[in-house]
A and B are shown apart, each in its own frame.
Chain A
Amino acid sequence: MQKIDWFPDFLGNILNKNRTMKLSFLLLVCALLNVQANSFSQNTKIDLEVENETIQNVLEEIESKSNFTFFYRSGEINEGRTVSLKVRNKPISEILDLIFKGQYVSYSVVKNQIVLKRGGPPIKKIPVQEKISNDLLLDAKIVQQTVTGTIVDNQGIPIPGANVVEKNTTNGTAADFDGNYSLQISGPESILVFTSIGYASQEIPVGVSTTIDVVMREDSQALDEVVVVGYGTQKRRDVTGSVASVSTEDIADIPMTSIEGGIVGRIPGLDVVPSGAGPGASTQIQLRGQRSFTATNDPLIILDGSPYYGTLNDINPYDIESVDVLKDASSTAIYGARGANGVIIITTKRGATGAPRFIFESYGGPIMAYGTIPYANGPQYAEIAREAYRAIGDYPEGGTSAEFDEIIFDEIEIESLRQGGNGLNYQDLLYEHGFQQKHQLTVSGGSEKVKYNFSGSYFQQDGIIPGENFDRYSMRTNLDFTFSPIFSGGASILLNHSYNKRKSSAALFQAFQSSPLGKLYEDDGTPRFTATADGLLLNPLADYIYDSYRWDNKSWGAILNVFGEAKITPDLTYRLNLGTNFKLRTIKESAGFYSLARNLGTATAQVDNTVDNLLLYESILTYNKQFNEKHQLTVTAIQGVQTTRLETSDAGVSDLPYEESRYHNLGSATLVNSVGSNLIETNLLSYAGRIFYGYDSKYLLTLSLRADGASQFSPNHKWGYFPSAAFAYRISDEGFMKSTENWLDDLKLRLSYGVTGNQGISPYQTQGGADRSAYSWNESPGFGYYPTELENRNLKWETTAVYNFGVDFRLFGGRLSGSVDMYNTNTYDLLMFRKLPITSGYDQVLQNVGKTKNKGFELSLNSVNISTEEFSWRTDLTFFRNNTEIDELYNGKVDDIGNRWFIGEPIEVFYDFKKIGIWQQNESAEAASYGQEPGQIKVLDVDNDGAITDADRMVLGSPQPDFVSNITNTFNYKNFDLSFQTYIRWGGMSSIGPFAPFSKKRYNKLVFDYWTPTNPTNNYPRPNQLYEGSGLYGSTLTYRDASLISLRQISLGYRFPASLIEKTPLSGLRLYLSGENLAYWTKSEMRDFNMKPDLTGDVVDGTRTISSYPATRTVILGLNIQF
Chain B
Amino acid sequence: MKRHINIVLFVVITAIIGSCSSDFLDEEKIVSPPINSYFTTEKGFNDLVNSNYTFTRTLFAGGNNFAPLVFFGTDLWTNGSDGTFIEFNAYNSGIQPANPVLWNLWSPFYQGIAACNAAISRAGAVEEMPESAVNQKVAESYFLRAWYYHILVMHFGGLPLVTEEVTDVVTTATRASEAEVYNQIVQDLLFAEQHLPDTQDEFGRVTRPAAQALLARVYLTLNQNDMAAEYAEKVINDYGFSLLDDYSRLWDVDNRVNSEVIWSIQFSQDERLNGSGNAYFLYFTPRYDLQPGMTRALENDRPWPRFVATRYYFDLLASNRENDSRFAKSWKTAWIANNESTLVGNMQIGDTAFIYVPWDIPDSEEAELEQKYGVFDINDLYDGENPTGSRELFPHMRKYKDPLRPSINSGVGTKNVIEIRLAEMYLIAAEAQMKEGNLPEAVDHINTIRHRAAWPGKEVDMEITEADLDIDFILDERALELGAERLRWADLKRTGKLIERVQLYNTLGRDNVEQKHLLRPIPSNMIDRLTNREEFEQNPGY
Do A and B form a real pair?
A: yes
Cβ-based interface call for A133 (8 A): no
Cβ-based interface call for B379 (8 A): no
| Complex Cα spacing A598 to B11, Å | 60
The reply to whether B7 and A566 contact each other, CB–CB distance below 8 Å, is yes
The reply to whether B83 and A675 contact each other, CB–CB distance below 8 Å, is no
Residues of chain A with a CB closer than 8 A to B257's CB? 778
The reply to whether A840 and B531 contact each other, CB–CB distance below 8 Å, is no
The reply to whether A947 and B266 contact each other, CB–CB distance below 8 Å, is no
Q: Restricting to A545-576, which residues have a CB under 8 Å from any CB of B?
A: 564, 566, 568, 574, 576
The listed residue with most B CB atoms (<10 A of its CB), out of A412, A783, A840, A841, is A840
Residues of chain A with a CB closer than 8 A to B467's CB? none
CB distance from B436 to the nearest CB of A (A): 37
Cβ-based interface call for B348 (8 A): no
Residues of chain A with a CB closer than 8 A to B469's CB? none
The reply to whether A841 and B114 contact each other, CB–CB distance below 8 Å, is yes
Q: Restricting to A429-484, which residues have a CB under 8 Å from any CB of B?
A: none
Q: Restricting to A822-868, which residues have a CB under 8 Å from any CB of B?
A: 834-843, 845, 847
| Complex Cα spacing A617 to B170, Å | 42
| Complex Cα spacing A947 to B169, Å | 38
| Complex Cα spacing A898 to B107, Å | 13
Residues of chain A with a CB closer than 8 A to B50's CB? 773, 775, 782-784
CB closest chain-B residue, reference A536 = B409
Partner of B33, one of A673, A770, A782: A770
| Complex Cα spacing A410 to B341, Å | 11
Contact with A along B54-87 (1 / 0, CB 8 A): 1001000000000000000000000001111000
CB distance from B412 to the nearest CB of A (A): 10
Residues of chain A with a CB closer than 8 A to B406's CB? 601-602, 654-655
The listed residue with most B CB atoms (<10 A of its CB), out of A392, A784, A792, A897, is A784
Cβ-based interface call for B437 (8 A): no
With A619-B15, A641-B20 as contacts: A786 and B48 at CB distance below 8 Å: yes
Cβ-based interface call for A45 (8 A): no
Stretch at the interface among B187-195, B198-206, B320-328: B198-206
Cβ-based interface call for A696 (8 A): no
CB distance from B197 to the nearest CB of A (A): 14
CB distance from A691 to the nearest CB of B (A): 21
CB distance from B33 to the nearest CB of A (A): 6
Q: Restricting to B257-286, which residues have a CB under 8 Å from any CB of A?
A: 257, 266-275
The reply to whether A787 and B165 contact each other, CB–CB distance below 8 Å, is yes
Cβ-based interface call for A509 (8 A): no
Q: Restricting to B157-173, which residues have a CB under 8 Å from any CB of A?
A: 160, 162, 165-173
The reply to whether A779 and B529 contact each other, CB–CB distance below 8 Å, is no
Cβ-based interface call for A710 (8 A): yes
Contact with B along A1010-1048 (1 / 0, CB 8 A): 000000000000000111110010000000000000000
The listed residue with most A CB atoms (<10 A of its CB), out of B11, B32, B39, is B32
Contact with B along A955-994 (1 / 0, CB 8 A): 0000000000000000000000000000000000000000
With A487-B6, A598-B407, A769-B35 as contacts: A534 and B173 at CB distance below 8 Å: no
Cβ-based interface call for A398 (8 A): no
The listed residue with most A CB atoms (<10 A of its CB), out of B25, B26, B202, is B25
Cβ-based interface call for A1099 (8 A): no
Cβ-based interface call for A776 (8 A): yes
The reply to whether B296 and A535 contact each other, CB–CB distance below 8 Å, is yes
CB distance from B409 to the nearest CB of A (A): 4
Cβ-based interface call for A428 (8 A): no
The reply to whether B110 and A841 contact each other, CB–CB distance below 8 Å, is yes
CB closest chain-A residue, reference B4 = A568
With an 8 Å Cβ cutoff, the count of chain B residues facing the other chain is 106
The reply to whether A777 and B29 contact each other, CB–CB distance below 8 Å, is no
Cβ-based interface call for B248 (8 A): no
Interface magnitude class on chain A: 35 or more
Q: Restricting to B296-354, which residues have a CB under 8 Å from any CB of A?
A: 296, 302, 339, 341-342
Cβ-based interface call for B530 (8 A): yes
Cβ-based interface call for A182 (8 A): no
Partner of A782, one of B90, B273, B339: B273
Cβ-based interface call for A916 (8 A): no
Cβ-based interface call for B448 (8 A): no
Cβ-based interface call for B132 (8 A): no
Residues of chain A with a CB closer than 8 A to B114's CB? 787, 840-842
The reply to whether B110 and A897 contact each other, CB–CB distance below 8 Å, is no
Cβ-based interface call for A411 (8 A): yes
Cβ-based interface call for A207 (8 A): no
The reply to whether A773 and B18 contact each other, CB–CB distance below 8 Å, is no
Residues of chain B with a CB closer than 8 A to A842's CB? 114, 166
Summed over the interface, the residue pairs from A and B with CB atoms below 8 Å come to a total of 306
With A619-B15, A674-B272, A790-B168 as contacts: A775 and B25 at CB distance below 8 Å: no
CB distance from B207 to the nearest CB of A (A): 13
CB closest chain-A residue, reference B11 = A574
Cβ-based interface call for A780 (8 A): yes
CB closest chain-B residue, reference A652 = B271
Cβ-based interface call for A397 (8 A): no
Residues of chain B with a CB closer than 8 A to A576's CB? 10, 14
Partner of A535, one of B32, B53, B409: B409
The reply to whether A601 and B81 contact each other, CB–CB distance below 8 Å, is no
| Complex Cα spacing A671 to B410, Å | 16
| Complex Cα spacing A600 to B295, Å | 12
Stretch at the interface among B92-100, B236-244, B394-402: B92-100
Residues of chain A with a CB closer than 8 A to B365's CB? none
| Complex Cα spacing A148 to B29, Å | 70
With A619-B14, A767-B29, A947-B93 as contacts: A599 and B84 at CB distance below 8 Å: no
With A601-B408, A764-B27 as contacts: A779 and B270 at CB distance below 8 Å: yes
Contact with A along B14-41 (1 / 0, CB 8 A): 1101101000111111111101001100
Cβ-based interface call for B496 (8 A): no
CB distance from A622 to the nearest CB of B (A): 13
Q: Restricting to A182-237, which residues have a CB under 8 Å from any CB of B?
A: none
Contact with A along B37-53 (1 / 0, CB 8 A): 01100001011111111
The reply to whether B53 and A782 contact each other, CB–CB distance below 8 Å, is yes
Residues of chain A with a CB closer than 8 A to B52's CB? 784, 786
The reply to whether B29 and A931 contact each other, CB–CB distance below 8 Å, is no
Cβ-based interface call for A667 (8 A): no
The reply to whether B30 and A679 contact each other, CB–CB distance below 8 Å, is yes
Residues of chain B with a CB closer than 8 A to A847's CB? 169
| Complex Cα spacing A957 to B389, Å | 39
Stretch at the interface among B178-186, B417-425, B472-480, B520-528: B520-528
The reply to whether A840 and B47 contact each other, CB–CB distance below 8 Å, is no
The reply to whether A786 and B6 contact each other, CB–CB distance below 8 Å, is no
Residues of chain B with a CB closer than 8 A to A640's CB? 18
Residues of chain B with a CB closer than 8 A to A778's CB? 202-204, 256-257, 266, 416
CB distance from B484 to the nearest CB of A (A): 21
CB distance from A338 to the nearest CB of B (A): 15
Partner of B274, one of A712, A774, A836, A948: A774
The reply to whether A533 and B110 contact each other, CB–CB distance below 8 Å, is no
CB distance from B289 to the nearest CB of A (A): 6
Residues of chain B with a CB closer than 8 A to A783's CB? 47, 50, 273
CB closest chain-B residue, reference A1025 = B390
Residues of chain A with a CB closer than 8 A to B530's CB? 837
Residues of chain A with a CB closer than 8 A to B33's CB? 770, 785
The reply to whether B526 and A411 contact each other, CB–CB distance below 8 Å, is no
| Complex Cα spacing A1042 to B297, Å | 44
The reply to whether B7 and A486 contact each other, CB–CB distance below 8 Å, is yes
With A837-B170, A839-B160 as contacts: A950 and B273 at CB distance below 8 Å: no
| Complex Cα spacing A394 to B380, Å | 13
Cβ-based interface call for B135 (8 A): no
Cβ-based interface call for A771 (8 A): yes
Cβ-based interface call for A781 (8 A): yes
What are 15 A-B pairs at a CB distance below 8 A? A576-B14, A599-B407, A601-B408, A602-B406, A617-B18, A641-B20, A674-B272, A711-B24, A715-B26, A774-B272, A775-B57, A778-B266, A786-B52, A835-B529, A1028-B84
Extra 5 A-B pairs, beta carbons < 8 Å, given A835-B529, A836-B169: A775-B50, A897-B528, A931-B93, A1000-B390, A1028-B82
